[in-house]
Amino acid sequence: MFLLKNHLIYFIINKDNYFFILEVVGIMYKQFEERAEKIISQMTLKEKVGQLNQITITSFKNDFDSLKSFIREGNVGSIILASSATAGNDPQGHVNMEFYNELQKIAVEESRMKIPMIYGRDVIHGHRTVYPLPLASAAAFNDSLVEKCYHNIAEEAVSDGIRWTFSPMLDLCHDPRWGRMVEGPGEDPYVGARVAEACVKGFQGDDLTAKDSIVACAKHYLGYGASEGGRDYFRTEISDTTLYNTIVPAFRAAVKAGVGTVMSSFNDINGTPVTGSKKYLSDILRDKLKFEGFVVSDWAAVEQLARQGYAEDRADCTKKALEAGLDLDMCDKCYIENLEKLVLDGKVSESTVDLAVKRILCVKLAMGLFDRPYGEKVDYDRAEHLADAKALAAESMVLLKNNGVLPLKKDANIGLVGPFVTERRSLLGTWTLDGSADETPNFLEAMKSKLRGGKLFCRDLSGIFDNSSTINYKSDVVVLALGESYLTTGEAYSVSDISLSKDQLELVDKMHSMGKKTVGVIFSARPMALEGVADKLDAIVYAWHSGSETANAAADILFGDTVPSGKTAVTFPRKTGHIPLYYNITASGRPVDGYYGVNPQNNYVDSVATPMYPFGYGLSYTSFEYSAPKCDTTEIEYNDLLNGKSFTVSVDVANVGDYDGKETVQLYIRDKVASIMRPIRELKGYEKVLIEKGTTKTVSFSVGAESLGFYNENGDYVIEKGEFEIFVGANCLTENKITVRVK
Ligand code: BGC
């Protein structure tokens, strides 16, 4: 592989064949190397080490004089704008831009090298305006809307002086018990890659020096989402083929989109902590993925190497992390306290330090930080941001069930019950540092604003237990506002049971026994186990923790002002005990046709093991009919494929219902026989299209080398001859397929 301006040319070698793919990639950081090297040649060793140090000002305990002299002496490369190690659920103050500009002034005017500091903050799925949690927004399957929203986030963040965000989180995950699953794209590598690209482009744009651009950070590299048992910060066992085919693709896409930084993860993989691993941080990230920006550790992940039994002491942690390829040390002071001495003692080479400094300076140069070091406000339209937040929230919400009770009539009498009727904070979701719960409409307000002649009867949980309550006899339909608190999700907030709480289960039972038409609206971050709940509800809208406009978007859907179009980007298991359950599994040998836990022989004896809702699933108020897929060929020459030829698969989708609606058309591939077992279905394309009622749209997908191969255990991309089944349909269970042979 080599670089030509901002093009990457990949050679893919297969036995005696090779082919190449020309790809346009984002910002190439290496073009700033010469300038960076010139700066480095004038730096003392101490100043170089300072560039590798990220601090939190809380460690100075309000001793601002010491903080200022520390910066003046060139000891700080970056400041994280967070006051605790688990900022996701801890309350954080807003960023005081004037104060940080004052500190920056010291760095650029009073320090000897005048190198600006880079300010980073966890601007994860919103800033003042909060968008759906990433797991929710993946369900929108609308990349351009996600990109637009992430650009909006950048505009708001830079206006507070934030030039770097620790997002997107790209940890693929099969275990919804893990509190952090909700921060990422879900279970599918292809979705992960598309989301990664959309978020990086949204945050960074085409020009990192633009005033409304913010540097992104692909995290947590690598494998953190595979933490055993959904426990946080826990160990992982990941084979190399799983790593390359499942976990790496989202990071590969982020790098390709030009992401400036990558965060190393806390976990170990097969006994090697990623933060101290040359294999993961250099051999794969740099040599295979061609990442050119810098790597930051996760919070105190360097000193953690000693606790993980991988390093003797803090000096050894420093040596192991730096030599593995970890450039910036987040908050544990290992580098600043040990690195200079390690070099002077001849234990670490100065050139290794120089390399890390160079990578950091290249990003600072690429983003124009030397020319524009201070935070400045940009003009943005808050109303537009809120409208986009509502649009993305609405497209993220999934109609899981509807026996005809939805949409509701605006002149109906509606009972509104449950713990999420007046809740605000949880609607914003975990990792909301700057969004305000007080400014977030609750479900009651949103529902009220929709009624035209109808009445709301609202009760808290206790009121409903009375059979003769007004809710029961005066309402035409009852809407239950159910869900989970944001404090059961996020960093260090995993759960061992993904069911609704006991009181909510009782509430569902009581409502069911009253025989009223009942709609469940579930405000949750993860897929919850709905066995025993779904059958008692007449309709279910999965509203997620969808940000500032959650309640308004959900009310729009309930009353039919928006036609639901979200599709699950994650499998919903029936019970916690069915975890892990994900769609892109390999075939089991007994029986051959089983898929997704449907085999009678590998079912659990105490429960039905099929998913409650499969991946890619979601209903609409209208109905879509798919034609059989068509392909412009039945076979393709292997060498043609390698040389860039593709074929086209298309399908006609008719809207045969009563509403205009959006449908996410999905293309899955199965490589029927390969040298390593390939999944029964793998998503390789999706397109969300608006289809007016009574009309038909043809949706086409181009299928080429990039969709038909896989990575072997060495991380090389391989395509093998043989039959490929190509499925096109409305979710991963579709049987609508054709077969193409690669010969
Ligand atoms: C989290 C990261 C976060 C960092 C900085 C860590 O504890 O794992 O996701 O970006 O803190 O707040």
Ligand 1 contacts CB of residue 122 (under 6 A): yes
Ligand 1 atom nearest the C-alpha of 183 is 9
Burial of 36: CB neighbours in 10 Å, binned 0-12, 13-18, 19+: buried
Q: Which atom of ligand 1 is nearest to the CA of 219?
A: 9
Write down the architecture of domain 622-742 according to CATH: Sandwich (2.60)
DSSP letter string over 523-576? E-SS--B-TTTGGG-SEEEE--S--TTHHHHHHHHHTTSS------SS-B-SSG
Rounded CA separation 205/677 (Å): 39
Which pLDDT tens digit goes with each residue over 5-21? 344 444 454 444 444 44
190 lines ligand 1 (CB under 6 A): no
The strand pair at 737-742 and 722-729 is best described as: antiparallel
Q: Beta 518-523 vs 477-483: how paired, if at all?
A: parallel
Coil vs helix vs strand at 399: strand
Rounded Cα gap, residues 92 and 81, in angstroms: 9
The closest of 543, 616, 688, 666 to 144, measured between CA atoms, is: 688
Of 402, 441, 449, the residue nearest 425 (C-alpha): 441
* Distance (Å, whole) CA 615 – CA 148: 25
Q: Where are the domains of the chain?
A: 24-367, 398-565, 622-742
Measured in Å, residue 299 CA sits from the centre of ligand 1 at 6
CA 510 – CA 507 distance, rounded (Å): 5
- Amino acid found at 40: I
Pick the closest to residue 122 from 232, 19, 22, 217 (CA basis).
217
Span from the CA of 219 to the centroid of ligand 1 (angstroms): 9
- Which pLDDT does position 22 carry in this prediction? 46
- Choose among 520, 485, 484: nearest CA to 499: 484
Tokens 């479900």 locate to 443
Burial class (CB in 10 A: 0-12, 13-18, 19+), 83: middle
- Alpha-carbon torsion angle 312, 318, 320, 324, nearest 10: 160
Ligand 1 centroid–CA 192 distance in Å is 19
Give the per-residue pLDDT at 601: 62
What's the CA gap between 78 and 420, in Å, rounded? 40
CA distances from 49 to 274, 299, 519 (A): 22, 18, 59
Nearest ligand 1 atom to the CA of 167 is 10
| Ligand 1 neighbour 70 (Cβ under 6 A) | no
Cα separation of 27 and 260, whole Å? Answer: 8
Tokens of 705: 């080398």
What is the atom index within ligand 1 of the atom nearest the CA of 120?
Answer: 5
Q: How far apart are CA 556 and CA 441, in angstroms?
A: 13
Tokens 């029961």 appear where? 472
Cα dist. 293→159, 262, 432 in Å?
A: 24, 8, 27
Assigned fold of 398-565: Rossmann fold (3.40.50)
Question: Which residues are CB-neighbours of 623 under 8 A, at least 6 positions away?
Answer: 655, 656, 657
User: Is the CB–ligand 1 distance for residue 79 below 6 Å?
Assistant: no
Q: Relative to the CA of 169, which ligand 1 atom is closest?
A: 9
**Quick check: CB of 86 below 6 Å from ligand 1?**
yes
- Is the CB of 166 inside a 6 Å radius of any atom of ligand 1? yes
Q: How far apart are CA 145 and CA 140, in angstroms?
A: 9
The residues annotated with a catalytic role in the active site are: 298
Integer Cα distance of 408 and 451 in angstroms: 10
Using most ligand atoms within 8 A of CB, pick from 183, 298, 332 the residue to mutate for ligand 1: 298
The CB of 82 under 6 Å from ligand 1? The reply is yes
What pLDDT does residue 593 have?
60
User: Is residue 332 within 6 Å of ligand 1 at its C-beta?
Assistant: no
513/105 Cα distance (integer angstroms): 67
Ligand 1 centre distance from Cα of residue 87 (Å): 7
Taking residue 341's Cβ as centre, other Cβ atoms within 10 Å add up to: 13
The secondary structure element, H or E, covering residue 508 is: helix 502-514
pLDDT at 603: 74
pLDDT at 3 (0 to 100):
38
Q: In Å, what is the CA distance from 438 to each residue of 153, 187, 340, 424, 434?
A: 19, 33, 48, 7, 12
d(CA 621, CA 397): 13
> In the chain, what is the greatest distance between 2 CA atoms, to the nearest angstrom?
82
Distance 122 CA to ligand 1 centre (A): 7
Joined tokens for residue 89:
């659920």
Contact 413, 457 (CB under 8 A): yes
Distance CA 648, CA 637 (A): 15
Please choose from 171, 215, 432, 491 the residue to mutate so as to test ligand 1's pocket, defined by most ligand atoms within 8 A of CB: 491
596 close to 647: Cβ distance less than 8 angstroms: no
Rounded CA-CA distance 69/593 in Å is 69
- Are residues 59 and 388 in contact, defined by beta-carbon separation less than 8 angstroms? no
List pLDDT tens digits, range 187-244: 999 999 999 999 999 999 999 999 999 999 999 999 999 999 999 999 999 999 999 9
CA-nearest residue, atom 10 of ligand 1 = 166
Q: Which residues contact 628 (CB under 8 A, 6 or more apart)?
A: 651, 736, 738
Please list the ranges in the chain whose pLDDT falls under 50. 1-11, 13-22, 462-468
- The pLDDT score that the predictor gives to residue 8 is 47
Rounded distance between C-alpha atoms, residue 213 and residue 164, angstroms: 9
Q: For residue range 539-587, list pLDDT tens digits in order.
A: 999 999 999 999 999 999 999 999 999 999 999 999 999 999 999 999 8
- Verify cis geometry, omega within 30 degrees of 0, for the bond prior to 134: no
Q: Where are the beta strands (DSSP E) in 108-241?
A: 118-121, 164-165, 217-221
Residue nearest to atom 11 of ligand 1 (CA): 299
Can you name the residues that pair with 660 across neighbouring β-strands?
A: none
The confidence score (pLDDT) of residue 602 equals: 65
Is ligand 1 within 6 A of the CB of residue 87? yes
Phi, psi of 550 (to 5 degrees): -55, -55
The reply to whether ligand 1 has any atom less than 6 angstroms from the CB of 171 is no
Instruction: Choose among 624, 621, 592: nearest CA to 734.
Output: 624
List CB contacts of 435: < 8 A, sequence separation 6 or more.
126, 127, 128, 129, 130, 428, 547, 548
Nearest to 483 by CA among 411, 540, 412: 540
Report whether residue 298 contacts ligand 1, using a CB cutoff of 6 Å. Answer: yes
Distance 86 CA to ligand 1 centre (A): 6
Angstrom distance (rounded) from CA 132 to CA 147: 13
Nearest CA, atom 2, ligand 1: 298
CA-to-CA dists, residue 32 to 38, 42, 108, 281, 690, angstroms: 10, 16, 19, 21, 44
Instruction: Give 55 Cα–ligand 1 centroid separation in angstroms.
Output: 13
Q: What is the CATH number of domain 24-367?
A: 3.20.20.300
Task: Say how far apart CA 112 and CA 592 lie, in whole Å.
Answer: 70
Helices (H), 257-333: 278, 304-307, 314-324
275 alpha carbon to ligand 1 midpoint, in Å?
14
Spatial distance between the Cα atoms of 502 and 699, rounded to a whole number of angstroms:
45
CA atoms within 13 A on the CB side of 619: 16
